[in-house]
Amino acid sequence: MKKASVGSEMKKQEESRCTQKTISLLSPLGTIQVSGCENGVHTIQILMDVAPAERSNEAPLSCVVTDSPAETSPEMQRCVEWLQAYFTEPQTAGSLPLPAFHHPALQGDAFTSRVLQVLLRDVKFGETVSYKRLAEMAGNPRAVRAVGGAMRRNPVPLLIPCHRVISSSGQSGPYMSGRGDHLKQWLLTHERQRGEG
C-alpha cells in the first residue's frame, strides 16, 4: 500500500470509531443536518427539501432545531449556535467561535484542506473571491480547477463559505454540483443585505 493510502486508511478508521450524532435544523434554506462527534463536526448537509425563504423586513429569518439527540457535544452545540446566528443575526456570526472540524478532508496538508482553510480564514462575511484568486491565495495559481474540486468536497458548507467563491467573470458559478445554484444566490444576497443593515 502506498504511504498516502495508508494515511488515508488510518483517517477513515479513526473517523469510523467516532460515535456520530445528527442534529436537524429548519432554516430559511430548508432542512440542514449537522453530523458530528465529541471531537467536532463531520458534515453539514443542506437537504433542499423546500424553496429558500422569501425575505421580508417584517418577518425575521429563523433557524430552529427540529430533531436532536438527548445529549450533544459542545462542538455540535457551538455549530448549532453559529448557524442560528448566521441566519437570524448574520453580522454577529463572525464574532462567534466556530466548532472544531473532524473530517479527513479538513485534516493534514492536502491541497483541498489548504484551500478550505484559506477560504475560511481570509474570505469574510459579505465578500466573494474568484476560483482563480483563491488558487493564488492557496499557493498554486494554476490550480483553478482543483479549487473547484475542493469546493465540491467541502464537508461543512456555510461554516466554510464555499458559496463565496465565484467565477472570474463575476457570475456566481455552481453550488452543490449545480443543484443548489439558487441557494448560492440566496446566501450571497443574504450576506449583502445583512451586511448593509
Active-site residue, 162 included: yes
End-to-end Cα spacing for the chain: 55
Q: Which of 37, 63, 79, 162 is catalytic?
A: 162
| Cross-strand partners of 25 | 32, 65
Which cell is 102 given? 473532524
- Write out the DSSP string of 111-134: HHHHHHHHHHHHS-TT--EEHHHH
- The dihedral formed by the CA atoms of 53, 51, 36 and 163, expressed in degrees to the nearest 10: -80
Residues noted as catalytic: 162
